[in-house]
Amino acid sequence: MKIKVTMNDPDTLSDAIRYAVENSVRKMGIDGDEERLAVTVARRTKIAHIASQWFDEGEYLTVEIDTEAQTCVVLEN
Cα separation, 2 vs 15, whole angstroms:
31
Domain residue ranges in the chain: 2-74
53-59 mean pLDDT: 95
Buried b / exposed e along 7-44 (16+ C-beta atoms within 10 A): eeeeeebbeebeeebeeebeeeeeeeeeebeebbeebb
pLDDT (tens digit per residue) in 3-20: 999 999 999 999 999 999
Burial class (CB in 10 A: 0-12, 13-18, 19+), 55: buried
Residue 31's pLDDT band (cuts 50, 70, 90): confident
